[in-house]
Chains A and B, each alone.
Chain A
Amino acid sequence: AQKITQTQPGMFVQEKEAVTLDCTYDTSDPSYGLFWYKQPSSGEMIFLIYQGSYDQQNATEGRYSLNFQKARKSANLVISASQLGDSAMYFCAMITFKAAGNKLTFGGGTRVLVKP
């Protein structure tokens, strides 16, 4: 079975500073993918970044980067230069490729509040 753990239920960050959101995962499948989604107060789930288990380099998308440490089974999200609009819930999720279908397993989420 797959499991995603996000140990930070909530955190504050000062505008323009960087913030790291923790995510650890557990799976016996050697082939998997890791995601981060953002859910603002409006409710929609916005895809931020993806990392495949065989990717050699850490994924980056603009101000988002994923610190992938495979041996430690961690996939932390780093948001650089935080903006007020980054205030939201952030979910780490995983997909495994052994089974058919692409169902996502989610962590409990981390609520980020950016202070001006």
Chain B
Amino acid sequence: EAGVTQFPSHSVIEKGQTVTLRCDPISGHDNLYWYRRVMGKEIKFLLHFVKESKQDESGMPNNRFLAERTGGTYSTLKVQPAELEDSGVYFCASSQGRLPYEQYFGPGTRLTVT
């Protein structure tokens, strides 16, 4: 069974540009989460999808971030326009049930904004 995949693994963009990160959860997982770790800080929750609906987006930092989950399958996280403080590693995780230890993480996308 394939795990959570994220694309790209690395992205380097200039301030003001747009970047779209993609996450493919484990097949059949209804829950999809986005987290990020900016340099030197803790990993922070961004948002949680249940199927195609946003269950909790309390961690989204501002309206430059837009997350979507088409048809309840893969998800995208768009940053537009990117700022220097957006640099960090963006993780995606997925789970099927409410059992917390079933939250599987992807390898992350390292975003560098110059």
Mark A residues whose CB is within 8 Å of B: 4, 33, 35, 37, 42-47, 50, 91, 93, 95, 99-109
Contact = CB atoms under 8 A, between A and B. Distances in A.
Interface in B73-114: 89, 91, 93, 95, 98, 100-101, 103-108, 110
Interface string B30-59: 010101000001111100100000011001
Interface residues of B, number: 27
A32 B9 CA distance: 32
A37 B59 CA distance: 21
B59 A103 contact: yes
What does DSSP make chain B's interface, helix, strand, loop or mixed? Answer: strand
Nearest to A3: B42
Contacts of B45: 103-105
Given A93-B43, A104-B35, A104-B45, 11 more contacts: A43-B107, A44-B105, A45-B105, A50-B100, A102-B31, A102-B48, A102-B100, A102-B103, A103-B33, A103-B56, A105-B45
Nearest to A106: B43
A100 B44 contact: no
A62 B92 CA distance: 27
A42 B43 CA distance: 17
A35 B98 CA distance: 15
B43 A91 contact: yes
Given A43-B110, A44-B108, A101 B101 contact: no
Interface in B1-48: 9, 31, 33, 35, 41-45, 48
A44 B43 CA distance: 13
A108 B107 contact: no
24 contacts: A43-B108, A43-B110, A44-B105, A44-B106, A45-B91, A45-B93, A45-B105, A45-B108, A47-B105, A50-B101, A93-B43, A95-B100, A99-B56, A100-B56, A101-B48, A101-B55, A102-B33, A102-B48, A102-B95, A102-B103, A104-B33, A104-B45, A106-B43, A108-B42
